[in-house]
Each structure stands twice: as C-alpha cells, then as structure tokens.
Amino acid sequence: MSIQELWLLLPVLIISAGILALMLQASWKRSCYLAQGICLVTLFLALAALINNYPTDLKTITILFEYEPIGGFFSLLLLMVGISVALLQGPYMGANSKEVAEEFYLLLLLSCLGAMLLVMSRHIGSVILSIELMSLSMLAILAYNRERKLALEGAMKYLLLSGAATSVLLMGFALLYASSGQMMLVDMLQSPMGLMAKSGFVLVLAGLAFKLSLVPLHFWTPDVYQGAPVNSTLLLTTLSKAAVFALFIKLILLVPTDFEADMVRMLSWMAIASMLLGNWLALQQQSLKRLMAYSAIAHMGYVLVAGVIAMGIDHSLVLEGVSYYLLAYLVASILIFAVLTLLSRLDDQQDLEELPQLQGLFWQHPWLATIMTIAFLSLAGMPITIGFIGKFYLLTLAVKLSAWWLVTTMLVGSAVGLYYYLRVIFTLFAPAKSDMPQAQAAYLSKIWIGLIAASLLLLGILPGLLGDQLRSILSIG
C-alpha cells in the first residue's frame, strides 16, 4: 500500500481515528457534549478530506477497494446524513437522559464507516465486512432506548430477518465464486455465467433487496421503523438505503448481456410491485413513521426503475438520474424525521408520530411545519422542489426507453402518493389543539435543517445549478 493509496483513503481513516478517539473519551471522561463534538468534528473533517481530493477517475486501493466519482458522490450523501443525525441526537437525547450518550455517536461513526467502505468495495470480502459493519451497528442504534418495548420488538425482528438475508447474500456470493473462481466483483461477473452463477447473482440481489426493502422482501420495514427511536429511523431510512443502493447499481451495471433480459424482467416486476404496494399500504397509516416506511418502499421502487433503465440504455445519464433522485429522497427524509426528532424525546415511551398529535403544528411551530410541508411536497414530486426534478429525470429516462409499464406505474404511484402526503400537510394546518408538544431549543440543528431545506428549494427552482455540476462531478459528461 503506497502513500498515494493511503491519501485516497483519508476520509475513511479520519472516521476510524474519530472512532478510536470516542472510545478513549468514553473510558476517560464521560460527557455527551464532548462526544457529540468529537463526532461532528470527525464527520466534517472527513467531508473536507473527501471534497479536497474528490476522485476524478477510477483509482484502485489494494484489491479490496476502489475510489471513483460515483462512489465519491454517494460518500458525500452519506456524510451529510451522518452529520444530520449527529446534530439531531443532542436535542433529542437532552442533557440528562437515562441512556448513555457517548455510545450512540460511536455507533453512528461505525455505521458511517461501514457505509462508506461499502460504497468503495470491489471484492466479496470487503462487501461482506462493510455491509455487516453498517447493519450491525445500526441494529444497536435501533434498540438504543432500552426501556421501549416496541424498539426491542423492531430490533429483534430486524436482527433475525437481516441475519437470514445475510445468509442469502453469502450463498449467492459463494455460488458466484464457485462458478467463476474470482473474488473481485468485476471479474466475477465477466466470466461466462452458467445456471449456478445466475442463481447466485439472483440470490445476491435478493439479499441486497432485503436491505433496500423492495417488495417481496419488505415485511420488516414498517415494524422496525415504528419501533425504533425516530433519530435512529432517520439513519436507517437514509444511510443504509443509499449505501446499499450504490452497491446494487454497481452490480446491475456489470450484468453480462446474455443475462440482461431476464434481469430486466425480474427487476421491473420488483419495481412495479414496490411502487404499487408501498403507496397503497401507506394510504391507511395513522402513524407517521409507518407512513414513511411504506413511502420508503415506494421510493426504492422508483429508484429501482432507474436501475432497470440503466441496463437498457447508456449508463451515464441514468447514473445522473439515480444520483439526483436519491439526493432528493435523502434530503426530504432528513427534513421530515428531523422535525419529528425535534418534537420528541428519547426518554419517552413513544415518539411524537401519530397524525392527530401533529394536528395544527403550524400554529405552534410555523417554521418546523413549513419545513415538513416542503419536504412532503418534495416527496410527492411537486414543482419547485428537488423531488420534482428527480421524478422528471426518471420519467424522461423511462419514456426514452419506452418502458410504458414502468411509466404508468410511476404515474399511478405518484398520484396515490400525493393523496396521503397532502393528508399529512392538511393535518399540519388544521386548527390547533390545546396540548402541543414543545420543540427543543437547538439552534445548531435548526440552522443545519434550515440549510438543507433551503437547498431543497434552491435545487428545485434552479436544477441546472447541480445538474451541470453533477455531470462533471460524476465525470461522465
């Protein structure tokens, strides 16, 4: 390993150093402010390091990792999520919580590390290690409040089912390895594929589809989302989805041509089922967390459409579309969960999540309600928000490929989605009830949320601002 390679690994190394520092700090002097500070400094340093030597072309780092523009963009998204969660955890937990504070930041950094490594992986070993590093530390975060029974239920379900999904993933990789004798993802999929390799590839995609909660493998999503503390749900719905999708799309783009038609058929059905079922089941939800869980299923279906298209036409435009759509989804999710987090407390038995509890939020907390409204409009794909541009990209691509089934389902799904998103927005503006929850006074987090909300609108109004950049960022133009 040369100095050059170490230099490219700098963001990851900074996060690892931050993890060590946090461990030492927790054993030396416990202080939640110090822990949050170390965590934030680490994440911002990693962000600076990543921006400073942003990858312009594909560089390999040993046989395990690679450093390329798309991975770099996903890493930016992951760091943005990590910073949001770290900022929100302070007010959510409060200064004198019953739970210990430092370990949350430790686990957060560990899962960020896993996610960033996953985006960079190019070898079976690194994929397995990083995906498990990410999901296991996330599992601990999901059950962070030890008093909540629902959190325990959700974490237990996630543990058992994700263990099963991991075993499917392992079997798939083992079959691919057995038929090709290669451990690198690229080499593995370039050798001729027999029946064994094909079934192995399907198993791998199934294992990843579980983490993305695509339809036949989505059953765990609503329960885990509802049970977990709301800040942990934010991490689950953004970090793991973005990182796993980066790997998913990398694998899809490597599919050999003779296997493409079958894969297109399989993934199209998964996408259609996810969009329809996710939107349909979200209609009846009273709990905002469950609603977001089903909407996450639907949105993963939309992103999968891009994956399907990627196999059909040239990759560069599709990657741009996927990046834009995921950015829109992440930004909106961060905003919605951030508002819920600011209104809830970790020590309570329940978070603020039922729709009636949010009735009339606008009259009590106008800014929070406005931000939530913008975020929901963006998820629904309304103009002047970034979500509209994301949907526009995907629809244009799907029309270009004449994938009419996908286009129809996307439109139907969006129409149904609009209904339940608007229901939430109407609730926010309904006449207020007397007992409204008090928001935490956390100026730093509020400034950060405000920045993200502003960028959501700015990129929605001036999509060219990022659109042109994005092409050069992903260096495909």
Partner 1 sequence: MTVPIEHGFVLVALLWAIGLVGLLSRKNTLFMLMSMEIMLNAGALAFILAGSLWQQADGQVIYILILSIAAAEVGLGLALLIRLRQHIGDLDIDKLDEMKG
Distance separating alpha carbons of residues 348 and 93, to the nearest angstrom: 10
Sign of CA dihedral 275, 304, 166, 109: negative
Give the shortest CB-157-to-partner 1 separation in angstroms.
Answer: 9
Give the shortest CB-178-to-partner 1 separation in angstroms.
Answer: 4
Residue of 210, 94, 185, 200 whose CA lies nearest to 145: 94
Interaction mask 273-302, partner 1, x per CB under 8 A: -----------xx-x--x------------
Interaction mask 60-99, partner 1, x per CB under 8 A: ----------------------------------------
Distance separating alpha carbons of residues 208 and 119, to the nearest angstrom: 13
Residue of 10, 34, 45, 170 interacting with partner 1 (CB under 8 A): 170
Provide the phi-psi class of 196: left if phi over 0, else alpha when psi is between -120 and 50, else beta: alpha
Give the shortest CB-176-to-partner 1 separation in angstroms.
Answer: 9
Give the shortest CB-179-to-partner 1 separation in angstroms.
Answer: 8
Residue of 173, 210, 324, 421 interacting with partner 1 (CB under 8 A): 173
Residue of 166, 232, 333, 373 interacting with partner 1 (CB under 8 A): 166
Calculate ∠ Cα 246-405-303, nearest 5°.
15
How far is it between the farthest Cα atoms of the chain? 67
Q: Does 178 bind partner 1 (CB under 8 A)?
A: yes
Q: Does 227 bind partner 1 (CB under 8 A)?
A: yes
Distance separating alpha carbons of residues 422 and 90, to the nearest angstrom: 31
Using the rule CB under 8 A, give the single segment among 131-139, 239-247, 359-367, 406-414 that binds partner 1. 131-139
Of 41 and 160, which CB lies nearer to partner 1 in the complex structure?
160
Q: Does 442 bind partner 1 (CB under 8 A)?
A: no
Of 68 and 351, which CB lies nearer to partner 1 in the complex structure?
351
Residues 350-389 that bind partner 1 (CB under 8 A): none
Residue of 142, 108, 160, 344 whose CA lies nearest to 225: 142
CB-based contacts of 52: which residues, under 8 Å, 6+ apart?
A: none
Give the shortest CB-61-to-partner 1 separation in angstroms.
Answer: 18
CB distance 377 to 304 below 8 Å: no
Of 220 and 329, which CB lies nearer to partner 1 in the complex structure?
220
Of 100 and 253, which CB lies nearer to partner 1 in the complex structure?
100
Q: How distant is the alpha carbon of residue 189 from its chain centre?
A: 26
Residue of 17, 34, 100, 136 interacting with partner 1 (CB under 8 A): 136
Give the shortest CB-191-to-partner 1 separation in angstroms.
Answer: 12
Beta bridge partners of 121: 65
CB distance 379 to 318 below 8 Å: no
Residues 145-164 that bind partner 1 (CB under 8 A): 146, 149-150, 152-156, 159-160, 163-164
Q: Does 216 bind partner 1 (CB under 8 A)?
A: no
Distance separating alpha carbons of residues 39 and 45, to the nearest angstrom: 10
Q: Does 139 bind partner 1 (CB under 8 A)?
A: yes
Residue of 68, 223, 320, 353 interacting with partner 1 (CB under 8 A): 223
Site size toward partner 1 (CB under 8 A) is: 42
Residues 101-130 that bind partner 1 (CB under 8 A): 124-125, 128-129
CB-based contacts of 100: which residues, under 8 Å, 6+ apart?
A: 30
Give the shortest CB-167-to-partner 1 separation in angstroms.
Answer: 4
Residue of 226, 323, 359, 385 interacting with partner 1 (CB under 8 A): 226
Of 217 and 470, which CB lies nearer to partner 1 in the complex structure?
217
Buried b or exposed e, range 171-187, using 16+ CB within 10 angstroms: bbbebbeebbebbbbee
Distance separating alpha carbons of residues 304 and 52, to the nearest angstrom: 31
Interaction mask 11-30, partner 1, x per CB under 8 A: --------------------
Of 173 and 329, which CB lies nearer to partner 1 in the complex structure?
173
Beta bridge partners of 61: 65
CB-based contacts of 51: which residues, under 8 Å, 6+ apart?
A: 76
**Single-letter residue type at 241:** K
Environment class of 209 (CB within 10 Å of its CB; exposed 0-12, middle 13-18, buried 19+): buried
- Positions in the binding site for partner 1 (CB under 8 A): 124-125, 128-129, 132, 136, 139-140, 143, 146, 149-150, 152-156, 159-160, 163-164, 166-171, 173-175, 177-178, 181, 183, 222-223, 226-227, 284-285, 287, 290
